């Protein structure tokens, strides 16, 4: 289940969560949910982590992981939680037909995932 983040009141836990998932910041800015201030807060928070201060146990600095600049592969089970617009956008990125009802969009993505595997 996807976690909901209140961009108007970010806790340290939210900042860690967003630092590990930079694509969520991109999406929030694209949809107008955030004006870029969260990205600045995450960058400031990450700078604090890099000098060893305020480290929170159990979190991994995403910049230390190989391939961190790539979006993670989405598990097919998560497609049910996506909106129709998100599904259609992902299909469009993959140069697949992006019209139809939600079940059809999800089926098309899952078939494409299976073909790529």
Residue 111: pLDDT above 80? yes
Assign 1 a pLDDT band (cuts: 50, 70, 90).
very low
Assign 108 a pLDDT band (cuts: 50, 70, 90).
very high
Average pLDDT over residues 13-41: 82
Whether residues 94 and 108 fall in one domain:
yes
Can you give the pTM of this predicted structure? 0.42
Model confidence over 47-81: pLDDT tens digits?
776 655 445 545 555 555 555 455 545 455 588 88
Whether residues 12 and 28 fall in one domain:
yes
CATH number at residue 114: 1.10.720
Assign 3 a pLDDT band (cuts: 50, 70, 90).
confident
Q: Please tell me whether residue 8 adopts helix, strand or coil conformation.
A: coil
Share of the chain above pLDDT 70, in %: 73
Average pLDDT over residues 17-33: 82
Whether residues 63 and 115 fall in one domain:
no
Q: Which of 35-49, 73-87, 95-109 has the highest average model confidence (pLDDT)?
A: 95-109
Residue 69 has a pLDDT of 52
Q: Which domain holds residue 88?
A: 73-117
Q: What gap in Å lies between CA 90 and CA 40, rounded to an integer?
A: 27
Q: What gap in Å lies between CA 77 and CA 86, rounded to an integer?
A: 15
Whether residues 17 and 50 fall in one domain:
yes
Separation of first and last alpha carbons in the chain: 23
């Amino acid at each position: 289940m996807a976690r909901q983040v209140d961009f108007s009141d970010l806790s340290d836990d939210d900042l860690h969560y967003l630092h590990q998932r930079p694509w969520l910041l991109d999406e929030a800015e694209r949809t107008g949910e955030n004006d870029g201030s969260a990205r600045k807060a995450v960058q400031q928070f990450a700078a604090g982590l890099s000098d060893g201060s305020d480290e929170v146990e159990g979190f991994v600095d995403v910049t230390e992981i190989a391939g961190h600049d790539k979006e993670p592969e989405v598990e097919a089970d998560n497609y049910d939680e996506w909106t129709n617009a998100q599904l259609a956008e992902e299909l469009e990125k993959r140069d697949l037909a992006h019209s139809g009802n939600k079940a059809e969009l999800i089926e098309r993505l899952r078939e494409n995932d299976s073909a790529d595997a």
